[in-house]
Amino acid sequence: MDMQYVYTKKRSEFGRQVYFTDRAVEITADIQPNPELLHDYIPRNPVDTGTQNVREFSEHWVNTVRFETEHRGVNHVEGGWPKDVNPLEPDQTTRFRKKTEKEDGYGRAVVSLGQSIAHTIKQNNAIDIYENYFQNIEADVVEEAPFAKTINIYRDPHSTRRTANHISWNADGARKIAVSYCNLEFQSASNDAYIDSYIWDIENPTKPDFYLKPISPLVCVEFNPKDAHQLVGGCYNGQVCIFDTRKGSTAVEQSLIENSHRDPAYKTIWLQSKSGTEFFSASTDGKVLWWDTKKLSEPVDTLILDIEKKGRLENALGAMTLEYEPTIPTKFMVGTEQGRIISCNRKGKNDAEKIGTVFPGHWGPVYALQRHPYFTKTFLSVGDWTVRIWSEELRDDCIMWTKPSMHALTDAQWSPIRGSIFYTTKMDGTLDVWDILFKQNEPTLSIQVVDEPLHCLRVQETHGRLVACGSQNGTLTLVEVSDNLCTQGKSEKGLVSGMFDRETRRAKVLEARGRAKRDARGKAGAPGEKGEKTTTEGQAEESELKEGDPIEKAEKDFWKIIEEEKRRRERKALGDDKGAGEGGAMAQAEQAVHPTA
């Protein structure tokens, strides 16, 4: 629609009206120049000046073309790929590019786009818009101490105090957090009083953004990395359920109770697949179950965690946590209630082939297990009072560990940005930040988040700046760390890789020496005829003591002196009146019964 406005003004306001008539030309004055007046002035170069003989008025009207705006929405998460193409799969993206290049309109579209950006390319060639004009000036960089601050606190709106057991960040940005609430204390009150869990908006700590209403309290909950509206939850009664925020608060799908776990489903993880509908769960009943959201009535596959590889459920180890790296889709790891860590391969034909390396782990349950984001052969685990860092190349011992803490550790996670940093939570409400390149005996930063035990944490994976911590009374605290804790240096990745390689080699050398000692000790401890050591065994023991640990050698010498003193006192108690032959026989018998260490 064209819009115009005409400004009007009375004729009387323009001044006296001018009338023009035609008449002959006449001379009204004729003044001749006076040459004497020329001496009173200084001549200068001619100057041309334009003048306007009428007054200028600002009143005018214009009619411009109306500018129309239009709002369009597009899901531009990974380069604008179609929904059925996973940008993380190279074969799918390559196939899609080849298919697009073969289309008829592809060439014409490229030509038209090329014409539109030709001017921009010419400008870029003429002017370097990224030129650094201050590259030779050294700025004064001040290395500040690491710090962290609390951004928001999200409290459970229900009066019943429940533990925040698990946290999951939405894959579509860092704006929403899903938290599962459940009381897992032994012989605690009934879990049927209030069973809702929530999705929080980080900008609104006063009220949950969305309610999750399961059939049983949620022990864990995870966002689908391919669909930001879909979540999977593990329930206290062993069932697994699927939520869709577009279809309401109740679960849209749930597994049958007879085909589910017999204990709480402590962990659920989405699998890397083309459809994005597969996930697996673990429980302390000793089973790992694979599911597909298209058919949730029964599991797709089952694994019994029997490390003896006999498939007996009564000998299975209870699973407390799972670890799955999307870049290694066939492998996963299980942290058990008995402290063992089991490395598994899903491509095995039976349970014996699926169960691989078993790591000794911890003295108590394994509460956290995660591979390093950059070096997948290295992973950390949390149990009892320590954090242990393992290498897949070693199965008998870890390569690094923290000293025992005064308070039990509950969770840990690597920083997604910096390869040398990991976070831990403790029962005293403290969040610790460890930098293994800086120091290994104590954390780089300790933050007293709350005055109650912390049970879980999760770091936002996009920039690694936000850390969410869940406490025993259901309080979710969002902590922001400083820039130096989420900015990786140029050589940091190489230094971390060198540290892991060095510690792995050291552990291999120690393991080989320990194995050689055990073999030598086994050979030296084998009895010969008449209970006496052979000459070869004595030489083996002597060489072992010479090359072995000085403490172990001193211990053997100590017990040898003790045995000799015992025999001397026994001979003295029997008396010296017996014959030399009888005394010699007794000494020989004692030597057989009490061999020298």
Q: Has residue 231 got a pLDDT over 80?
A: yes
- Tens digits of residue pLDDT in 88-143: 788 888 888 888 888 888 888 888 888 778 877 877 777 666 666 655 555 444 46
3-state helix, strand, coil in the chain (%, to 5): 25, 25, 50
| Percentage above 90 pLDDT, the chain | 18
Residue 562, pLDDT above cutoff 80: yes
- pLDDT at site 132: 66
Q: Is 585 a residue whose pLDDT tops 80?
A: no
Looking at the DSSP assignment, which residues form a beta bridge with residue 323? 333
* Residue ranges matching CATH 2.130.10.10 in the chain: 148-506
Tell me the per-residue pLDDT of 439-469, one tens digit each, with 9 for 90 and over: 888 899 999 999 999 999 999 888 888 999 9
User: What is the rounded (10 degree) CA torsion for 277, 283, 286, 288?
Assistant: 10
Q: How far apart are CA 434 and CA 445, in angstroms?
A: 7
Give CA–CA dist 409/363, Å, rounded: 13
Distance from the Cα of residue 193 to its chain's centroid:
33
240-244: strand order across its sheet? 218-224, 227-235, 240-244, 253-254
Burial of 486 (0-12, 13-18, 19+ CB in 10 A): buried
Q: CB within 8 A of 183, min separation 6: which ones?
A: 161, 162, 163, 189, 191, 217
Return the CATH architecture of domain 148-506: 7 Propeller (2.130)
Lowest-pLDDT choice from 78-92, 326-340, 431-445, 477-491: 78-92
Say what the pTM is: 0.64
- Count CB neighbours of 564 within 10 A: 12
**How far apart are the C-alpha atoms of 517 and 540, rounded to whole Å?**
10
Task: Give the span between the Cα atoms of 449 and 451, in whole angstroms.
Answer: 7
* C-alpha triplet 186, 190, 193: angle, nearest 5°: 140
Q: Which residue has the tokens 């792995």?
A: 504
Which residue in 453, 537, 445 sits closest to 486, CA to CA?
Answer: 445
The confidence band for 476, taking pLDDT boundaries of 50, 70 and 90, is very high
Task: Please count the other Cβ atoms lying within 10 Å of the Cβ belonging to residue 276.
Answer: 18
Of 316-320, 321-325, 383-387, 544-548, least confident by mean pLDDT is 544-548
Q: What are phi and psi of 216, to 5 degrees?
A: -150, 155
Residue 492 has pLDDT above 50, yes or no: yes
Spatial distance between the Cα atoms of 92 and 362, rounded to a whole number of angstroms: 41
pLDDT digits (tens, 9 = 90+) for 382-399: 988 899 999 988 888 888
Q: What is the mean pLDDT of residues 283-305?
A: 89
Q: Which residue has the higher pLDDT, 125 or 513?
A: 513
Structure confidence by residue, pLDDT tens digits, 397-438:
888 889 888 899 999 999 988 889 999 999 999 999 999 888
Least confident of 80-84, 206-210, 343-347: 80-84
Q: Looking at residue 140, what is its pLDDT?
A: 46
